[in-house]
Amino acid sequence: MTLGPHLLSVEPGGKLAGRLRAPGDKSISHRALMLGAIAEGVTEIQGFLEGEDTLATLQAFESMGVRVERLGAGGVRIHGAGLHGLRPAPGPIDLGNSGTSMRLMTGLLAGQSFDTELTGDESLSKRPMMRVIEPLRRMGARIECSVAGTPPVRIFGGPRLRGIDYDMPVASAQVKSGILLAALYARGRTCVREPLASRDHSERMLGRFGWPIQRRDGAVCVRGEARLAGVDVNVPADLSSAAFFIVGATIAHGSDLVLEEVGVNPTRIGMIEILRRMGASIEFVNPREEGGEPVADVCVRASVLRGMRIPGDLVPAAIDEFPVLFIAAACARGETLVKGAEELRYKESDRISSMAEGLQALGIEARPTPDGMRIRGAAIQGGRVESRGDHRVAMAFAIAGLRAEGCIVIADCAMITTSFPNFLTLAREAGLRITAGGGP
């Protein structure tokens, strides 16, 4: 694994200006790679995110016999093995820090003829897996994990999967996607219903590869035992990565920034809607569609934000962006209340606790609750915060430096490379006064 800096230091002030393109969308990169690996024919991906998480997925399929060619920066050619063409890996498959890889591949491998063990790093080994294992077991899969319901995950080959109707207790794109991938190998129809709509990249990508998808009565349904055909995929810039600069340009006085070719899937733009309701000036320019995904250039100008009670129906569509949304709330006038975001406690870190502790260290009144946080906006002080090895927490506190009254030092930042390998370079180019430190 290529490690980034352990320490980041951000000097106060500055503004964000100019034009930049965030890295390729991580969610779409994962899914294009997975479906390309089990499709028939060749899939070429442009704009592929070359982060630690997506490379873990790529290496996993290589270990199962899929031939992958690198075509330069952001280019990947996958020679699909077909739905039943994967081979057993020579040993356990290490997925590093990638929760997306772990949950989606558990579903994809549940219908294979061979046994597989999925492992990960210390952080991933604490992530809950029963929410995806339980419905897969209902489909007939044979899967084991730790007593605590965490990785390593052992998937036993040879079961005959069957389609199910499943009402998800909590909206989760990763769990939904794991079930849909298993459904490709199941007899009959599988339907998944969510209490609130989560991101729909898997459904869009399955349709792109030629697998029929039905949406009816609030459910997503697929029938098993069809076929996938290789396609060309252009991956837009990742909104979750662009989010740091969107918030930065919103809170930093005098900022005027354009983020190019950003994926603006309606199931992903909860963060944009939240910021707009808080008073942010965010505009979509040149909207278009690429590979089944809506794309636009996002123009952001500095704004005065107002605290608000964030509506529960916007939470699933902003779940990955909440660390930096908490920074926006700290810069807003008045109080911001987030509820219904318990999923944040099961990410790379407990993001409710991580962000609350960091905000408190910077002089912000931040009161965590079991499923969210109450934040009162105020002047951000300088200080040292712990990211707990969480890439989104680390980058969120880096953005806080734009409004801080003193230097912010962020510890344990090596995992930024999982989703945003060139964050430091782009941040400096845009105007953030950030430097990288050495060891811990």
Residues 217 and 251 in one domain: no
Write down the number of H helices and E strands in the chain: 12, 23
pLDDT at 225: 81
Domain end residue (candidates: 199, 231, 263): 231
Co-location of 83 and 106 in the same domain: yes
Q: Are residues 272 and 195 in the same domain?
A: no
227 within domain boundaries: yes
CA distance 420 to 416: 6
Q: Which of 376, 387, 383, 385 is nearest to 416 (CA)?
A: 387
User: What CATH code is carried by the domain that includes residue 55?
Assistant: 3.65.10.10
Residue 438: its pLDDT value, please? 45
Burial state string for 380-406 with b = 16 or more CB within 10 A and e = fewer than 16: bebbebbbbbbbbbbbbbbbbbbbbee
Residues 359 and 307 in one domain: yes
Residue 204 lies in a domain: yes
Pair 87, 145 in one domain: yes
- Is residue 1 in a domain? no
Asked if 259 and 300 touch (Cβ cutoff 8 Å), the reply is yes
- 266 falls within a domain: yes
Amino acid of residue 365: E
Three-class SS state of 232 = strand
Instruction: For residues 18 and 156, state if they share a domain.
Output: no
**Contact by Cβ (8 Å): 178, 205:** no
In this predicted structure, what is the pLDDT of residue 73?
87
293 and 330 share one domain: yes
Within a domain: residue 397? yes
- Tell whether 2 is covered by a domain: no
Question: Are 208 and 332 in the same domain?
Answer: no
- Compute CA distances 175 → 80, 198, 313, 319, whole Å: 24, 10, 18, 14
Report in angstroms the alpha-carbon separations of 289 from 126, 245, 264, 344: 38, 23, 10, 30
Average pLDDT for runs of 10 along the chain of length 440:
69 96 95 98 96 95 97 94 97 96 98 97 93 98 97 96 95 94 97 91 95 90 92 96 98 98 95 98 95 94 98 93 98 97 92 98 98 98 96 97 97 89 94 76
Do 300 and 273 reside in the same domain of the chain?
A: yes
Structural domain including 256 reads 7-24+236-436
What pLDDT score does 170 carry? 87
Q: Pick the last residue of a domain from 211, 231, 251.
A: 231
Beta strand 116-119 with 93-94: parallel, antiparallel or unpaired?
parallel
In terms of residues, how long is the chain? 440
Report how many domains make up the chain: 2
Catalytic residues, which ones?
Answer: 320
Supply the pLDDT for residue 1.
33
* Residue 366: C-alpha distances to residues 152, 318, 330, 347 (Å): 35, 19, 8, 19
Task: Provide φ and ψ at 388, rounded to 5°.
Answer: 55, 30
Nearest CA to 261 out of 280, 233, 289 is that of 289
**Is residue 25 a contact partner of residue 269, using CB atoms and an 8 Å limit?**
no
Q: What is the pTM of this model?
A: 0.91
Strand partners of residue 258? 19, 299
For helices 391-400 and 239-251, angle between their N-to-C axes, nearest 10 degrees:
20
Instruction: Confirm if 5 and 436 have CB atoms less than 8 A apart.
Output: yes
Compute how many other C-beta atoms are within 10 angstroms of the C-beta atom of residue 260.
Answer: 17
Q: Assess whether 190 and 263 both reside in one domain.
A: no
Residue 276 domain flag? yes
Provide the pLDDT for residue 5: 65
Nearest C-alpha neighbor of 4 from the set 422, 321, 408: 422
Among residues 175, 206, 231, the one where a domain terminates is 231
289 within domain boundaries: yes
Complete DSSP assignment for 93-149: EE-TT-HHHHHHHHHHHTTSSS-EEEE--TTGGGS--HHHHHHHHHTT-EEE--TTS
Same domain, residue pair 334 and 196: no
Same domain for 180 and 294: no
